Chain A
Amino acid sequence: MTTPDQYNERPSVAPHTGTTATRDFILQATGITKSFGGVHALKGASMTMRRGEITALIGDNGAGKSTMVRCLSGIHRPDSGEILLDGKPVTFENPNAAIQQGIETVQQNLALVEDLTVWQNFFLGREKTHGFGPFRTLDRKLMKQTAADLLKNLAVNVPPVTSKVRRLSGGQRQAVAIARAAGWGSQIVIMDEPTAALGVQETARVEGVIETLRESGVAVLLISHNFDQVMRLSDHVWVMRAGMAVAERRSAETSGDELVALITGAKAA
């Protein structure tokens, strides 16, 4: 490399890329390492997410994407490294801790219960109740209304909130899972391959939901193998290879071919 590339320096600390000021980063992860026995899944990876943007995380299988995401959502605890959320250092003991700090994750399996209704799934584990003691009853009206409103805000095209999730299509289920993750005043929503199992039309609908989410000011971290989708949706791309975040690009300034080259290592970062 002859000219210093403002995006391509391998960062040793959370990078301040381009003209973005530090305060514009909602999340900065620096030097994250994580090993499982002798396997070094993350070897000091650093990445950032900006407010109100969709950040894509790409890389080949085994590059460390999932481990990175699991560190951010509290499933794994990094062996070393620092995570700054809104500029403040945070550690997550468990997924609930991450959720309380405003980081929601849409699991790949969606974590929906098919035999329950849409609204029941929406509030599963954090139901609204009224009354007290053992006779505290579910506030069904409030929960149905809230779930319906949230789905409407995201322009999600789903059957009534009283229908069972079993009757929903794959895309509708994905949309419900995304709306649920977005519905708790969260700052960051992490999505692992949200459209992997979907057809063309359903993918388009789910992408619409993700864009609506960005417009509402939520930062989205998108893990995807689909470069077209990454180019379509994301504002910023991080490329991982062999446990490191090796490159970042503004989506507008890169191409699918370049991303492939970065992933495979054909092009040095």
Chain B
Amino acid sequence: MTTIEHVRPPRLQAVGAQVRQISFWAENAAPIGLVALVIVFSALSPTFLTLGNIKAMLVAAAILVILAIGQSFVITTGGIDLSISATMTFGAIGFGLAFQAGLGFWVSAVVAIVAGLLIGLINGLLIAKGKVTDFIATLGTLSVATGLALIVSNGKPITINSTELLTLTSGSLGIFGYPIILAAVIAVLAWFFMFRTRFGLHVQAVGGNEESAVANGISATRIRMAVYLISGGLAGVAALLLVARVGAAEPAINTQFLLNSIAAVVLGGVSLTGGKAKIVGPVIGALLLTALTNGLTLLGVSQFYQPLAVGLVVVLAALLTRFQKK
């Protein structure tokens, strides 16, 4: 999406020339991979491209899409948020306890998001003000958030019976369930803030060259605080979808969401060194990973093979990004 301005008139010829370059495949790894997966799986399984399965896949992808967007903001600044899935778990427990205390759906939802923002705030303070390495700081808060979730829930899942949650998880407009609509709205907002506002430009500047950004009057501290808050807040939103899907707030570890959120961003063509912002890429990356898991399940491939497949796809994508245009 960022390269709209570059490609102009002689489109067809240009496209032809581009396809012959490896950088074309590297730039568009996620959409090409998604199309390839859809073709392969729909050939192998008649159920894959049915409306019912597409709807199920989109709903299943919503949590990962939201987490990948949060992760994308952080990674654009050259950071990483390893605590993102633990924060989601913490937010889910926050929702569960608030709901159990009779605060109702909406207040509980706010509690979940505030819980996520709280972890984001701690990350931001540690990294932006305390100058702790992002990797170490968020590894620490990963453990802290997981521990807190276990402590406050006493290690037991909290069952939730909420009509609002039921609507959230089962309601839909056509084949688009509410969860994926929520994720899409967040994606559009994220794209807008990243590419059309001063804030987004400053996020990219800090990630690209912090020294130059600061020399031009941008506060790197504020930008870093903001991206970890965004990541934490979005983890809180994802917590709602997680509780809605499971029907309970579980203090589970959810490691696969952490790895997949980073994998989706890498698949989406975002450089881990920062400076190159993408929103659509990571969203497609998240859809790809969900389609991969779904397709393998439909084909009856053992669950044990799924992490292997995800790992292979991510490593391949990382190799391909080496050939991206600078």
Binding site for B on A (CB under 8 A): 95-96, 107, 109-116, 120, 124-127, 129, 134-138, 140, 162-164, 166-167
For residue B217, which residues in chain A have a CB less than 8 angstroms away from its CB?
A: 96, 125-126
Main secondary structure of the interface of A (DSSP, over half): loop
Q: Decide if B218 touches A125 in the complex (CB within 8 Å).
A: yes
Closest-CB distance, B251 to chain A (whole angstroms): 35
For residue B198, which residues in chain A have a CB less than 8 angstroms away from its CB?
A: 127, 129, 136, 138
For residue A126, which residues in chain B have a CB less than 8 angstroms away from its CB?
A: 216-217
Q: Decide if A113 touches B5 in the complex (CB within 8 Å).
A: no
Q: Decide if A120 touches B201 in the complex (CB within 8 Å).
A: yes
Which of B197, B204, B211 has a CB less than 8 Å from the CB of A116?
Answer: B204
- Complex Cα–Cα for A162 and B3 (A): 9
Q: Decide if B276 touches A115 in the complex (CB within 8 Å).
A: yes
Q: Decide if A137 touches B197 in the complex (CB within 8 Å).
A: yes
The total of chain B residues at the interface (CB under 8 A) is 21
- Complex Cα–Cα for A124 and B209 (A): 12
For residue B204, which residues in chain A have a CB less than 8 angstroms away from its CB?
A: 113, 115-116
B36-80 vs A, Cβ < 8 Å mask (1 yes, 0 no): 000000000000000000000000000000000000000000000
Binding site for A on B (CB under 8 A): 5-6, 196-198, 201, 204-205, 207-209, 211-213, 215-218, 275-276, 326
Which of A96, A112, A134, A164 has a CB less than 8 Å from the CB of B209?
Answer: A112
- With A129-B198, A137-B196, A138-B197 known as contacts, the answer to whether A113 contacts B326 (CB < 8 A) is no
Question: For chains A and B in complex, what number of residue pairs have CB atoms within 8 angstroms?
Answer: 67
- Complex Cα–Cα for A206 and B254 (A): 56
Query: In chain A, what residue has the closest Cβ to B216?
Result: A125
Given contacts A114-B209, A116-B204, 15 further A-B contacts (CB under 8 A): A107-B215, A113-B205, A113-B275, A114-B275, A115-B208, A115-B209, A115-B276, A116-B208, A124-B205, A124-B213, A124-B216, A125-B216, A126-B216, A135-B197, A162-B6
Q: Decide if B197 touches A124 in the complex (CB within 8 Å).
A: no
**Max chain B CB contacts within 10 Å: which of A125, A126, A134?**
A125
Closest-CB distance, A83 to chain B (whole angstroms): 21
Lowest 10 CB-CB distances: which A-B pairs, in order? A125-B216, A115-B275, A125-B217, A115-B208, A111-B215, A113-B208, A111-B212, A124-B216, A162-B5, A113-B209
Q: Decide if B197 touches A136 in the complex (CB within 8 Å).
A: yes
Query: In chain B, what residue has the closest Cβ to A177?
Result: B212
Closest-CB distance, B193 to chain A (whole angstroms): 8
Query: In chain A, what residue has the closest Cβ to B215?
Result: A111
Closest-CB distance, A114 to chain B (whole angstroms): 6
Closest-CB distance, A261 to chain B (whole angstroms): 36
Q: Decide if A138 touches B211 in the complex (CB within 8 Å).
A: no
- Complex Cα–Cα for A140 and B212 (A): 21
- Complex Cα–Cα for A111 and B218 (A): 12
Closest-CB distance, A70 to chain B (whole angstroms): 13
Which of A107, A135, A138 has a CB less than 8 Å from the CB of B201?
Answer: A138
Q: Decide if A109 touches B201 in the complex (CB within 8 Å).
A: no
Q: Decide if A112 touches B197 in the complex (CB within 8 Å).
A: no
